[in-house]
Amino acid sequence: GQNIDQPTEMTATEGAIVQINCTYQTSGFNGLFWYQQHAGEAPTFLSYNVLDGLEEKGRFSSFLSRSKGYSYLLLKELQMKDSASYLCAVRDSYSGAGSYQLTFGKGTKLSVIP
């Protein structure tokens, strides 16, 4: 099984940088994902890490350390539209039923203030 922890809420100022942490304990690991979910909407894919290190995609970067069971999502030059929940998810090893499964954390609600 998987246990995933991330802060419940964070607040940051427009134009600033914010780091959202995610720690996990797993019985199998095949990648870590970050999704963004605006209130009342569907989650949308942000990033994917399977190897240690930093993946950068525009204003968003994601970091993974497999040995520490740790990831973070870094958001730069915050905008008001970045106010959303950010979901950390870990993918299991390949299951006997023919697929991987994603286990999601409870999400971090980020509020960006002027």
Partner 1 sequence: NAGVTQTPKFRVLKTGQSMTLLCAQDMNHEYMYWYRQDPGMGLRLIHYSVGEGTTAKGEVPDGYNVSRLKKQNFLLGLESAAPSQTSVYFCASSYTAGDAKQYFGPGTRLTVT
Amino acid at 101: Q
CB of 27 to partner 1, least distance (A): 13
Binding mask 39-78 for partner 1 (x = CB under 8 A): --xxxxx--x------------------------------
CB of 16 to partner 1, least distance (A): 26
Give the dihedral of Cα atoms 23, 79, 16, 34; nearest 10 deg. Answer: 10
* Number of amino acids touching partner 1 (CB under 8 A): 24
Q: What b/e readout covers 4-28, taking b as 16+ CB neighbours within 10 angstroms?
A: bebeeebebeeeeebebebbbebee
- Stretch near partner 1 under the rule CB under 8 A, chosen from 15-23, 61-69, 71-79, 93-101: 93-101
Is residue 87 at the binding interface for partner 1, with CB under 8 A as the rule? yes
Closest Cα to residue 79, out of 19, 14, 16? 14
- Stretch near partner 1 under the rule CB under 8 A, chosen from 13-21, 59-67, 70-78, 103-111: 103-111
Q: Which tokens hold the place of 3?
A: 């246990």
Identify the DSSP state of 1.
-
* Site residues (vs partner 1, CB under 8 A): 4, 31, 33, 41-45, 48, 87, 89, 94-95, 97-107
